[in-house]
Amino acid sequence: MTRLHAGNPLSDSPDPVRAMLDSMAAWTGAPENEAQCPVRDVLDRVGQKWTLLILVALEPAPKRFSQLQRQVGDISKRMLTQTLRQLERDGLVSRQVFPTKPPSVEYALTGLGRSALAPIGALLVWADSNHGAIRASRAAFDAEEVA
Amino acid sequence: MTRLHAGNPLSDSPDPVRAMLDSMAAWTGAPENEAQCPVRDVLDRVGQKWTLLILVALEPAPKRFSQLQRQVGDISKRMLTQTLRQLERDGLVSRQVFPTKPPSVEYALTGLGRSALAPIGALLVWADSNHGAIRASRAAFDAEEVA
DNA sequence: GATAGGTGGTCTATTTATGAGACCATATCT
DNA sequence: AGATATGGTCTCATAAATAGACCACCTATC
């Protein structure tokens, strides 16, 4: 991870990342065909409050519906259901019903879902190591505002 | 990038990422002190429709307000203003006013902002290479639903 | 000299997303 | 009988995002 903190972090990044960002910046624009733009498509999912949190929660092991709800804590059943359905539809999570009484349902990451956790993890590592700087910047900004 | 596609992508990931995910999964739970949890904090930002898109748009070069709006395309002025203010407060973007007539305002990535683009770029690369699989999964899911 | 266009925004009204919580059928334990 | 757990759905209220009018200012065009 040291590379991420030295010099210009971007020019230190693997080529594909830099190239992707450059080419991507070119077509950030409004997509005529929504589904055709991978960036928008994935970013829309990512930009849904619970998606990443649930993927991370499923990483250590598969979990049942109410286990998930207890772990995430402040998610409503409604949003949990909705988010899980979407993730299942996208193929990131699998859903398996067991004929217990009452029936229990187990959610697990698929291979695709697991592969998503690599970039997501990188983002969280960044978040963790830069959280201090962000909080400091906010404090400074707010201090100026008041003045 | 080959490593990301072979076997279990997670166990191939650098240790810090795996460790982060594991420790993170433990405290996905509702934070008593919101600001204390880096995950929630950053994920809340990331989980805001335009944040990432704007960061990516600023990567190639600093841009003015209306340049940004034109490039992103379907963002409203209101959301653009709001998102830029947040990013400025968080220290990811800098705002500089030039005394032209009418005055123009230039937004640029700070060092912190640039450092964020490394993990974000990784996410976009993932999005791009797995978009096909996701679309296929959706098609299959929807086909079952109807049946 | 009126008109259209560009600058960076703010403000209001409407649509969309999220949240809180009741409700359901079934079965187990107390 | 009454409480607890299973995985949801449903309705209603609140929070967030969107479109689009509006503003003050200046320039170039007609």
pLDDT single digits (tens) A15-60: 567 777 676 666 565 555 555 677 788 888 888 889 999 999 999 9
Does residue A111 lie in a domain region? yes
Please report, rounded to whole angstroms, the spatial distance between the CA atom of protein residue B84 and the C1' atom of nucleotide C4: 29
Does residue A87 lie in a domain region? yes
- Report pTM: 0.83
Does residue A94 lie in a domain region? yes
Residue A64, H or E segment: strand A63-64
B19 touches chain A (CB under 8 A): no
Residue pLDDT, tens place only, B55-102? 999 999 999 999 999 888 778 899 999 999 999 999 999 999 998 888
Find, in chain A, the residue whose alpha carbon is nearest to that of B21: A121
Strand D: which residues 71-110 of A lie within 7 A (CB)? 77-78, 81, 84, 95, 102-105
The DSSP letter of residue B30 is P
Contacts (Cβ under 8 Å, ≥6 apart) of B64: B104, B105, B106, B107
Q: What is the mean pLDDT of chain B?
A: 82
Does residue A85 lie in a domain region? yes
Does residue A7 lie in a domain region? no
Strand C: which residues 51-70 of B lie within 7 A (CB)? 64-67
Domain tally for chain B? 1
Does residue B1 lie in a domain region? no
Strand D: which residues 21-60 of A lie within 7 A (CB)? none
Task: Give the domain CATH number at B106.
Answer: 1.10.10.10
Q: Are A75 and A65 in contact (CB under 8 A)?
A: no
Does residue B91 lie in a domain region? yes
Q: Picking from B14-23, B29-38, B115-124, which range would have the lowest pLDDT averaged per residue?
A: B29-38
Cis peptide before B103 (omega within 30 of 0): no
Q: Count of A–B CB contacts within 8 Å?
A: 242
Q: Are A8 and B117 in contact (CB under 8 A)?
A: no
Sign of dihedral through CA atoms A68, A69, A70, A72? positive
Range of the domain at B107: 36-146
Strand D lies under 7 A from the Cβ of residue B75: yes
Does residue B2 lie in a domain region? no
Name the nearest CA neighbour of A26 among B124, B105, B85.
Answer: B124
